[in-house]
Chains A and B, each alone.
Chain A
Amino acid sequence: MIAINTEAILETLAFVAIFLLLPPLLVGIIRKTKARFQNRIGAPLLQPYFDLMKLMSKGETISKHTSWIFRSTAAINASLLIILAFLAPWTSLRPFNLGADLFLVIYLLALTRFFTVLSALDAGSAFGGFGASREVTLALLVEPAVILCLAAIGSVSQTSDLGIAFSFNNVSLINQPGLWFIAGCGLFLASLVELSRMPADDPTTHLELTMVHEAMILENSAANLALVEYSHFLKILILLGISSQCLLHAIPFFWHTSQLILALASILSIMILAASIAIIESVAVKLRWTKLPEFIAYSVAMSIFCVFIALSKNLN
């Protein structure tokens, strides 16, 4: 049980405040960085918050062909991602450990995808349909990479509980900068695809031929859209958080430092990763749909390297 004391309550409050308030800021950072790369001033850093607030105050329009799936998906996905934010090891500042099982985390993410895909098919529009079709195709290619990176880390620490594997006092993982770094890079590349970012999908365009995520949420409006967007922001936070945690574990300094520095570093590293997404999107182009498996192969290759390292670690 969680011991009730002031410090724990404060930590919990800080944690909840961070994961509720940080996600839109990440998107703000991405958009601002991209604007600066394009020599624009860009929208204010806090624009995503304003957008969400504006959406909340609008009247909702839904297609008459939809079933109960459509509106409940927004609520279900938001709650699933809030649960994931409590479970998944996306930050070092975790006042409690609820037992973040590796397979549970992956399957909760898959559950959000299940609902997103169904709600995209619900209105019966052609856009939703092919967005959904592309989403499941990408997921299929990325899923093995994500699970293998995390399973390799878990295998070295001999537990499937990510909370223990990512805890900075796990002796079996202390001198494994290679494993952590490759896993972090593999997860980051996989997150680009999972989050519908640039090489896989262009989040700024509404050109139907290219989009994945935008096509799926075309029918959502007002509070429903706000919830969907917010869930997507939260997913950015969680996935980037997990990759940044892997990268932090690769740096020996953070193994011997205080809790406060760790907490600050984990928040800062998520922001840096967000900025690097913006940089990638500024210098790289969106890949053709048929070229994507080749891009994802990098992520899969990294996950296979992780597996090799994990196997050799346990060789004795």
Chain B
Amino acid sequence: MINDPTTLSAANLFTSASAIWLAGLVIIAVGRERVKSNFLAFLMLAGALLTLGGAALSWNQSIEYNQLQYISFGLVPADSIVDSLSVPFLGLLGILASAAAVASPCHVDSLNSQGKKGHYWKLTFIFLIGLQQVLLAANGIAFLVFWEIMSLSSAGLVAADHVRHRAQRAAFAYLTATRISTAFITAAFLWMHQNTGSWSLSSWHFGTEQSIVAAALLLIAVCTKAGVWPMHVWLPLAYPEPPGPTSAVFSGLVGNISIYLLMRMLLAGECHHLGIAYAAIALGTISALWGVLFALMERDLKKLLAYSTVENMGIILTAIGVAILAHCHNLDTIATLACAAALFHTLNHGLVKALLFLGAASVERAVHTRDLSALGGLAKNMPWTMLCFFIGSLSICAMPPMNCFASKWLVYQTFFQLSFANAPILERAMSLAMVGILAFVGALSLACFTKAVGIAFLGRPRSNAAAKAKESTTSGPDGLILAQVILAIACVMIGTSVPIALDGLAPALRHLTHDQFVIGSTLFPIPQGQLALVGGILVSSIYLFVLGGRSVDVKSYITWDCGFGPLSTRAEETGSSFSHPIGRIFSQILQLKVTTEISGKDRRHFPESVRVETFMTPILETKLYRPIMGLFDWLSASLVRLQTGSIHIHLLYVFLTMLLLVFLGTNI
């Protein structure tokens, strides 16, 4: 197999991509400040393009190779495999890493300390190598090793701005989440190894009775790492922290890699447990509702995006749940739809979320804040960022003709078709309820992203910094803008040519469904491209003939102010007031409280001053996690007593431990 020329060249491409990134790491470690950031960005881009090329060469056939075999992890060597499932994710990695590479030089040049620059490049290169090798890992040990490299380097990226309290907190929360998920993955892998006697990922089958424990462990691990309710609390802390360009790779892939793991294990590994399916659907549904609701209430632009990731991870998880459910009932068409929905939405969401995070990074660079109440009116000064963020928002709200509409449509269609399939009545009722819930979530995300675009980019600037914002460091669009444009074009292109994209995913779908006759292009029958074309022609003709024909006559004047004279920007709608009516409806979940203080002599009719404050207490953090954290604090405080500092006592501990071990060794 290794002798086939395409196979070999694809394998070579992947290995050389890693080698180039490794070289970049060495160069920055040795060369320090002498290395130009453009050169390092070029290395990063080269690796990304090689990964993309390798994915393109191997998209239709699976390759097993062991070019890294001299790296042995004790139990097994670092085997690599490129199969049809890892190819789409490798492609996504290639695109996102290219975008990050394009955006990197202008970010690094704006950093003031040499230490930060070195930190950025080193961790980014390690992170990329980890990501790529996780996707290529053929056995459990290699997977875990590279998973750890990826997790720890990304934790380093989260802590990039480590002098700030915010970043420290985020890094700790993120580390906790990755520790938990790694522990559960390790447990699941050990369990499967015990069952099958093999470390090879492809030899593990989850159809047996014993494997349900491993499947449950994996589900917990993935939920923790992907940020599914109730393990999502780290996500709004950690996602905003990585430095601008890498936040694209971070937000687009960290969650998606764990979804990839779940697909590879439970879908490709033929899991047939109804319990797992129900758990996935239930957690996914709560996650979707919870995530979008908190996203809507959020004031911080990047946290808003992070909560929206919680929502989308939930939607993907429900699709995976339905795929398992359909496998249990032998409903092949629905299983195919569900797999397509999960895979396509994962990829689309990764792409779009990366685009939106780059947009938020661009806003943060220009205005030095992410607080929506200090933004506004950026459309004038930052037209490119606005356009790209707008395209991303359209897409993440699943608006036709964007790419996410296609994948969201597949999710809808999965549930819709389950409602009249040959399944138990309760499941059919659940599926129609899910259609309603998805519509609800969709309407909430529309509210959330109209808020993000409308408050940040439209209207009048709410602060001086926003009024003076400058889009790029150079006269023309710089790297960060270019990276956004690349991703926005990718979104639009996938959206208008969905059948081609789905055909490209067909090998992966065949791998997931074990059905050799899956045809990608027929899954999505809506001619989005043609609709977009007709729409474009209609819009431009209406604009030209109805509106634009008299464009000379258009007078520019102030915004209507009821004749009171110029209104201050304080009269504008803010992010919080925009979402307040919805917040009131869900005030129980959000713990939203409003206090109004009116003071003055005749307070009711002629108040001298009015003070309104809104409070939100995150219910999970205070009601669930604080007691748990308190318990840990108490436990560690109690354990400190063991550590007396006296050498005699410690020698006693050593002696007692020896006794215990001898006792255990002789009696068991």
Contact = CB atoms under 8 A, between A and B. Distances in A.
Interface of A: 56, 59-65, 67-69, 71-72, 74-76, 78-80, 82-83, 99, 101-104, 106-108, 110-111, 113-114, 117-118, 120-130, 132-134, 136-137, 139-141, 143-144, 146-148, 151-152, 154-156, 158, 160, 218-219, 223-224, 226-227, 289, 293, 303, 307, 310-311, 314-315
Nearest to B536: A79
Interface in B239-288: none
Contacts of A99: 525-526
A83 B535 contact: yes
Interface string B552-583: 01111111110000010101110001111110
A136 B556 contact: no
A129 B572 contact: yes
B556 A79 contact: no
Given A62-B555, A114-B450, A129-B578, A311 B377 contact: no
Contacts of B379: 67-69
B542 A67 contact: no
Contacts of A136: 443, 446-447, 450, 582
B419 interface: yes
A270 B494 CA distance: 39
Given A110-B397, A121-B450, 14 more contacts: A69-B379, A71-B543, A75-B539, A79-B539, A80-B535, A103-B413, A107-B405, A118-B458, A123-B559, A140-B440, A148-B436, A223-B546, A227-B547, A311-B432
15 contacts: A61-B554, A63-B558, A63-B560, A64-B557, A67-B379, A79-B542, A103-B412, A124-B459, A124-B460, A129-B459, A129-B577, A130-B573, A139-B446, A141-B585, A148-B432
B558 A132 contact: no
B454 A132 contact: yes
Contacts of A223: 546-547, 550
B386 interface: yes
A76 B577 CA distance: 27
B447 A140 contact: yes
Contacts of A146: 439
Contact of B432 (A74, A75, A129, A155): A155
B376 interface: yes
Interface in B521-555: 525-526, 531, 534-535, 538-540, 542-543, 546-547, 550, 553-555
A219 B559 contact: yes
B433 to A, nearest CB: 8
B399 A83 contact: no
Given A62-B555, A106-B439, A137-B585, A124 B531 contact: no
A60 B554 contact: yes
Contact of A61 (B440, B450, B557): B557
B560 A125 contact: yes
Contact of B419 (A59, A114, A310): A310
A65 B459 contact: yes
B215 to A, nearest CB: 30
Nearest to B534: A83
B437 interface: yes
Interface in B426-468: 428-429, 432-433, 435-437, 439-440, 442-444, 446-447, 450, 453-455, 457-460
A107 B428 contact: no
B593 to A, nearest CB: 17
A228 B19 CA distance: 58
A312 B427 CA distance: 13
A232 B446 CA distance: 20
A124 B446 contact: no
Contacts of B580: 133
A71 B386 contact: no
B559 A63 contact: yes
Contact of A121 (B413, B420, B454): B454
Contacts of A71: 543, 547
Nearest to B376: A124
A81 to B, nearest CB: 10
A120 B455 CA distance: 11
Nearest to A150: B435
A140 B582 contact: yes
B331 to A, nearest CB: 14
Given A61-B557, A103-B412, A293-B585, A67 B578 contact: no
A146 B540 CA distance: 31
Nearest to B537: A79
A311 B559 contact: no
Nearest to A151: B435
